[in-house]
Amino acid sequence: MRKNSIKNTRINGEVKKELSILISREIKDPRINPMTSVIDVEVAPDLKTAKVYISVMGDEESKKETQEGLKSAASYMRSQLARNLNLRNTPELTFIIDNSIEYGVNMSKLIDEINSKSKSNLDDDSDEDEE
């Protein structure tokens, strides 16, 4: 099975959907931040392993605690995946913190700041021209 095959893409999507539901609704670990979302899942073509990219809104300590909580709940999530998805093998889950959303939000804020500063500078220049 090729890495980008339709079957592999569909499996990635199904695993992502199931893990999102499990993390948001079923896992009661207090270490897991409620603002945790599954960004992407990459299941290996042999279905033995899966990299789960997660985004956590919060500070670094919250991210580490969430990752530890997810790591300890991995066996439960794997058993739930086996029950809910009909796969030949149920993949071993590895959780990776993905900071891309947070990075994008920070970049957007910086761009907005620059735009507002340049707009105020243009307004100041036009006021000077009128005098």
Say if pTM beats, i.e. exceeds, 0.95. Answer: no
pLDDT mean by block of 10 residues, the chain; 131 residues: 76 94 91 91 93 91 92 93 90 92 87 88 64 53
Do 42 and 58 fall within a single domain? yes
Q: Is residue 51 part of a domain?
A: yes
pLDDT at 128: 57
Find the domain containing 110 and state its range.
100-131
Of 8, 17, 6, 89, give the one whose Cα is nearest residue 52.
17
Looking at the structure of the chain, the number of domains it has is 2
Buried-exposed string 69-82: b where 16+ CB fall within 10 A, e elsewhere: bbeebeeebbebbe
Spatial distance between the Cα atoms of 9 and 24, rounded to a whole number of angstroms: 23
Do 87 and 130 fall within a single domain? no
